[in-house]
Structures are given as C-alpha cells and as structure tokens.
Amino acid sequence: MPPGDTLQRWICDQCGEIHYQNPKLIVGTVPEYQNKILLCRRAIEPRYGYWTLPAGFMENDETTGQAALRETLEESGARVELGEPFTMISVPRVNQVHLYYRARVHDLGAKPGEETIEVAMFEEARIPWDEIAFRTVGFTLKRWFADRAKGSFSFHAEDLMA
C-alpha cells in the first residue's frame, strides 16, 4: 500500500512503478442501417460463436468516440457515422464499464477483423436473442428497439450486478 493510499496496489519490485488496477472502459457502437442492426459473430473466447455488437477496450491516447469508431472498424470492417452515447453499463463483477454509441453504417467494408467469424445485419424480429454474447449487448439492443418504438432515443445508465 503506497503512502497516503487506502488500497493495496501492484508495485514493480525492480523499478517501483505502481500499477493501479482501475475499472476499464469497453466502448462500442450500435450500428444501424435501414432499420437493421449490425452484429458480429465472435471468433474468440469468451463466447466464441455468439453474436455481439462491435466493442472493445478503450486505449490510451484516444477519446471514447475514437475508441468506438476504431473498435467498430476493427471487429466488423464497417465504417460508421457516430451518433450520441446511448448506454453506459457498470459491470463491477469484472471491473468494467461498457459504453455504447448510436451509429449509422456508411460502408459495410470488405471483410471483418480477425476476432469476427462473420458480420450480419438483423431486423428486430430476427435478432438472435438466445445467441447474444454478453448481457450488456442484450440490454443495449433491447433499449435501442424500445427507444426506436417510442420515436426518441435517450441515454441509459444501468448497473449489471452479479
């Protein structure tokens, strides 16, 4: 525990660098085109073969919006126009905060990234609800279709407890 701190931290025995372990941001998009939503089928664990929205760890030297665009391009191959932040979901069990932006697909791209088996566009009735990779993705999709039905989108903050 460093002086003045209140929690134990990882400290390098050799150089003294303190590696604080704080929650990480997972940032992604809900890419929409002609009333369909783009989903990616995962080529990696966890949840290999399940469907997800494009998203991933925010990196240093970028904004949340830049992270959302980068992850969308990397995982789906698609270029999108970013909209407003849509959901923000704390998942304290894994020390993560998930943030999804609304987005409009400009260009589906030639092929998805290495982490993705295939990319497909789903209308609401065809969303594979039983094969969604993560609860944060299911929550975000449900909110998106509910808001669209209402005719207005707003920002939704939520906690997913264990």
Residue 52, judged by CB atoms within 10 A of its CB (0-12, 13-18, 19+), counts as buried
| Cβ atoms of residues 113 and 42 within 8 Å | no
95/131 with CB nearer a copy of itself: 95
Give the C-alpha separation, 135 to 94, whole Å: 13
87/127 with CB nearer a copy of itself: 87
Give the C-alpha separation, 72 to 81, whole Å: 11
Q: Applying CB under 8 A, which of residues 21, 111, 117, 135 lies at the interface with a copy of itself?
A: 21
Q: Applying CB under 8 A, which of residues 61, 125, 130, 152 lies at the interface with a copy of itself?
A: 61
Q: Applying CB under 8 A, which of residues 1, 22, 150, 152 lies at the interface with a copy of itself?
A: 22
24 part of the interface to a copy of itself, by CB under 8 A: yes
**Site residues, a copy of itself (CB under 8 A):** 7, 10, 12-14, 17, 19-25, 57-66, 84-85, 88, 90, 92, 95, 97, 154-155, 157, 159
